[in-house]
Amino acid sequence: MKLSERFADGKFVVTSEVAPPKGIDVAEMLEHVEALGARVDAINFTDQQSSVMRLGSLIAARLCIERDVTPVFQVTCRDRNRIALQSDLLSAAAIGVENVLCLTGDHVTLGDFPDAKAVFDLDSVSLLEAASALNRGVDLAGNELQGSTDFCLGAVVTPEAEHVDLQVIKMEKKIRAGATFFQTQAVYDPEAFAGFMDRVRPLGVPVMAGIILLKSPGMARFMNRNVAGVRVPDALISEMADAEDRVAASIGIAARLIRDVREVCDGVHIMPIGWEGHVPAVLDAAGL
Amino acid sequence: MLVTERKPVDEIVGFLDGEKRVFLLGCDGCAAASGTGGEPELAALEAELAAAGVEVVGRKVVDFLCQKALIRAAVRPLAERLRSVDSVVVSTCGIGIQAAATVLDVAVHPACNTLSLGGIRGEWQGEERCLECGQCFLDATAGICPLTACAKQLVNGPCGGAKDGSCEVEPEVRRCAWDVIYERLERQGRVDLLRREGVFQKDYAKMRPPTELRGTRRWAIDLREEKGGEE
Ligand code: SF4
Ligand code: SF4
Band (B129; pLDDT cuts 50, 70, 90): confident
Q: What is the pLDDT of residues B14-29, one digit of tens each?
A: 999 999 999 999 999 8
Per-residue pLDDT, B185: 95
In this prediction, residue B172 has a pLDDT band, given cuts at 50, 70 and 90, of confident
Q: Could you read off the pLDDT of A111-124 as tens digits, one per residue? A: 999 999 999 999 99
Nearest to A280 by CA among A35, A19, A17, A15: A35
CA distances B47 to A239, B56, B108, Å, are 70, 9, 19
CATH T-level topology, domain A3-286: TIM Barrel (3.20.20)
**pLDDT score of B132:** 87
Q: What's the pLDDT score for residue B3?
A: 85
Terminal-to-terminal C-alpha distance of chain B: 22
pLDDT at A70 over 80: yes
CA–CA distance, A76 with A108 (Å, rounded to integer):
12
Surface of A (213-242) touching B: CB under 8 A: 226-229
Q: Which residues of A touch B160 (CB under 8 A)?
A: 104, 156-158, 161, 167, 185, 228-229
pLDDT at B229 > cutoff 80: no
Q: How far apart are CA A157 and CA A33, in angstroms?
A: 25
Which of A163, A177, A227 is facing B179, going by the closest CB pair? A163
What burial letters (b/e) apply to A195-225, b meaning 16+ CB within 10 Å? ebbeebeeeebbbbbbbbbbbebebbeebee
**Mean pLDDT for chain A?**
96
Taking 60 as the threshold, does the pLDDT of residue A192 lie above it? yes
Question: Measured between CB atoms, does A110 come within 8 Å of chain B?
Answer: yes
Average pLDDT over residues B31-50: 94
Tell me the backbone φ, ψ of residue A247, rounded to 5 degrees.
-65, -45
A231: closest chain B residue by CA: B163
More confident residue, B160 or B218: B160
Mean pLDDT score across all residues of chain B: 87
Please say whether the beta carbons of A161 and A167 come within 8 A: yes
The arithmetic mean of pLDDT across residues B102-128, rounded, is 80
Per-residue pLDDT at B222 = 54
Mean pLDDT score, A260-276? 96
CA distance A36 to A41: 9
pLDDT band of A53, cuts 50, 70, 90 = very high
Rounded CA-CA distance A29/A37 in Å is 12
Checking if the pLDDT of B184 tops 80, the result is yes
CA-CA-CA-CA dihedral for B209, B210, B216, B222, to nearest 10 = -110
| pLDDT over threshold 80, residue B223 | no
Residue A255: pLDDT over 70: yes
Residue B224: pLDDT above 70? Answer: no
Kindly report the number of other CB atoms within 10 A of residue A277's CB atom: 13
Give the residue on A whose Cα is nearest the Cα of B152: A120
The residues, any chain, with a CB within 8 Å of residue A165's CB and separated by 6 or more, are B182, B191
* Cβ separation B199–A126 shorter than 8 A: yes
pLDDT at residue B140 greater than cutoff 60: yes
Element (H, E) at A60: helix A57-66
Which H helix or E strand runs over B10? helix B9-16
B108 has pLDDT over 90: yes
Residue B58 has pLDDT above 70, yes or no: yes
CA distance A221 to chain B (A): 14
Question: In this structure, how many other beta carbons lie within 10 angstroms of the beta carbon of residue A70?
Answer: 21
Any ligand 2 atom below 6 A from CB of B106: no
Secondary structure letter of residue B27 according to DSSP: E
pLDDT tops 70 at residue B221? no
Ligand 2 in reach of B175 Cβ (< 6 A): no
Q: Which residues of A touch B202 (CB under 8 A)?
A: 121
* Cβ <8 Å between A126 and B154: no
Q: What DSSP designation does A77 have? A: S
Interatomic CA distance for residues B137 and B131, integer angstroms: 11
Q: Is the pLDDT of residue A166 over 80?
A: yes
Residue of B nearest to A156 (CA): B160
Rounded CA Rg of chain A:
18
pLDDT at B210: 67
The whole-angstrom distance between residue B37's C-alpha and the CA centroid of its chain comes to 11
Under the banding of pLDDT at 50, 70 and 90, the label for residue A162 is confident
Indicate whether A221 pLDDT > 80.
yes
Give me the pLDDT at residue B118, please.
65
Side-chain-side CA neighbours of residue B48 (13 Å):
17
| Domains of chain B (ranges, CATH numbers) | 3-145+198-213 (3.40.50)
Tell me, what's the pLDDT at B214?
57
Rounded to an integer, the average pLDDT of B193-208 is 87
Q: Which amino acid is at A28?
A: E
Predicted local confidence at residue B231, as pLDDT = 38
A14, B2, B82, B131 from B185: Cα distances, Å: 38, 27, 18, 23
DSSP state of A205: -
Residue B230's pLDDT band, with cuts at 50, 70 and 90, is very low
Query: How many inter-chain contacts (A to B, CB under 8 Å) are there?
Result: 85
| Residue B176 · residue B152 · CB < 8 Å | no
- Domain ranges in chain A? 3-286
CB within 6 Å of ligand 1 — which residues?
B 94, 113-114, 130-133, 136-138, 145, 147-148
> What's the pLDDT score for residue B52?
95
Q: What per-residue confidence (pLDDT) applies to B197?
A: 79
